[in-house]
Amino acid sequence: MKKLSLFVYSGLGIFSICFLFLCCKPIEKSKISKVNQKEQLISDKLKWSERMALSIMKRHPKAWQIDNHEAPKWDYKIGMILTAYEKLYVKTANQKYFDYIKEYADALIDDSGAFQNFNPQDHNIDFINAGKILFGLYDKTKEQRYFTALKTLRRQFDDYPRTPSGGFWHKKIYPNQMWLDGLYMGEPFYARYTAEFEKGDKLNDVAHQFELLHDHAMDKKTGLLFHAWDESKKMPWANKETGTAPHIWLRALGWYGMALVDALDYFPKDHPKRKELVGYLNELAVGVSKYQDASGLWYQVPNLQTGKGNYLEASGSSMLVYAIAKGVHKGYLPANFKKVATKGFDGLIKKLIKVDADGEIHITQVCASAGLGGNPYRDGSYEYYMSEKIKVDNSHGLGAFLLAAIELDK
C-alpha cells in the first residue's frame, strides 16, 4: 500500500511539474518578448536626428553592415553617415555614437594605419570621403594609425589624374570627366587637411575644382548645374560643344551644395577665393529655390517636374536642406533661406519618413544610384534617371537626412 501511495504521489508530482512547465513556458516567452520590445523602443520624444541614428544602429549594429554589406568595406556612403554621427556625438556627448564610428574605422584600418583592400593606383575619388572621420578619431585618441591613414589619403591628390585644366578626374576609369559628386568626395577632406597640416597651402587648388565645374557645368537657363562635365567632349553622353551631361540631377546638386558649405569651413575669411565660393553657394540657393515643390521637396530631375515618372527624391532633397541650412547658420546665405530649408525638412517628415510601431524610422523614395558611362552604359538621358531603382533606407538618404536634421536641430 505504501509502495502504491508512493507511486501515485510521485506520478502526481511529475505530472504537476510537467503541467507547470508547459503552462509557464509560453508566459515566460511572452514576458521576454515584451521586455525586448520595450528595450528596442525608440522614443518619439527624441529629435529626428537621434531617432534616425538609433534606427540605423538597431538595423545595423556595425556600421559596415549598412546597405546590407556582407563584409567591411571602406565606403563613401557610410563615410557620409558617420560624419553625421560625429556631429551627433559632439552635440549629445553620447559615447555610443563615437564608438560606432571608431568600430568602423578599426574594422578597415590595421594597427600600422594601412587600409584593407586599397590600391593607391586605383585613383577613385569616392575612396577619400570616409577619410573625413579620421580627423576626429585622431584628435580624440591620438592613435598614430589614424594619422598615417590620413596621410595616405592626402597623398592621393599628389599624383591624382587631372583634366588639361587641372580638374581631378572622377575616377581613373572616367578619364577627363568631373562629376559634381566628386567635389563632395574630395574637396572638404583636401581643404581640411591642408588647413590643419599644411597652413592652407592647397586651398587655391581646392577652389579651382569648384571653379571648373561652376564655369563649365552651369546651365544658364535654369541657374542649376548639369551632373557632369567631360573636358575632352569625347564621351557619348557629353554635349559636343560644351562637354556637359544631358541633364540636371537632384542628388548631384546636393553633393555640390554640401561640398561648398563643408569646404568653406576651412577657408579663412581673408582668403581671396572664399568670397567666390560663397557666391557659388548663393547662386545654387537661388536656383534650387525656384524649383522647390509645394511639398518642400525637389524632384529627381528638378527642372522637369511634370516629366513622366519623375518623383520627389529623398537624398537630394535632404542634401539641399543641409547645405542651405548650414549656409544660413554660417552667414554665407541671407537669413530668409532658412524658410527654404525648414520647408524642405518638413516635407521630408510629412511625405517620405515612415515610423514603425516600435519607433524605428525609415526614409523612402531614395534613388539607389546614378552615374554616367560605365558598363552597363548609362547615357544620362531623362529616361535613364527614371530607370534607376528607388529604395527605402538606402545609405544616400540615411546620411543626408541625418545631416539635415542635425543642422536644423530637429
Of 293, 308, 317, 325, the C-alpha closest to 367 is 317
Of 48, 43, 37, 56, the C-alpha closest to 392 is 56
No. of H helices and E strands in the chain? 14, 8
Whole-number Å distance between alpha carbons of 206 and 183: 9
Q: Is 206 exposed, middle or buried (0-12, 13-18, 19+ CB in 10 A)?
A: buried
Q: Is the dihedral of CA 219, 223, 229, 235 positive or negative?
A: negative
Amino acid of residue 344: G
The x, y and z cell numbers of residue 61, run together, are 549594429
Which of the residues 181, 230, 262, 393 is marked catalytic? 181
- Beta-carbon contacts of 265 under 8 Å, excluding residues fewer than 6 positions away, are 188, 191, 192, 330
Helix, strand, coil proportions of the chain in percent (round to 5)? 60, 10, 35
Whole-number Å distance between alpha carbons of 220 and 246: 14
Is residue 181 annotated as a catalytic residue, yes or no?
Answer: yes
Whole-number Å distance between alpha carbons of 57 and 154: 30
Between helix 338-347 and helix 395-407 the angle, nearest 10°, is 130
Whole-number Å distance between alpha carbons of 42 and 205: 45
Q: Is 293 exposed, middle or buried (0-12, 13-18, 19+ CB in 10 A)?
A: middle
Of 222, 253, 249, 393, the C-alpha closest to 322 is 253
Whole-number Å distance between alpha carbons of 260 and 247: 21
Query: Quick one: how far is CA 92 from the chain centroid?
Result: 20
Whole-number Å distance between alpha carbons of 154 and 134: 12
Q: Would you say 395 and 66 are in contact if contact means Cβ atoms under 8 Å apart?
A: yes
Catalytic residues: 181
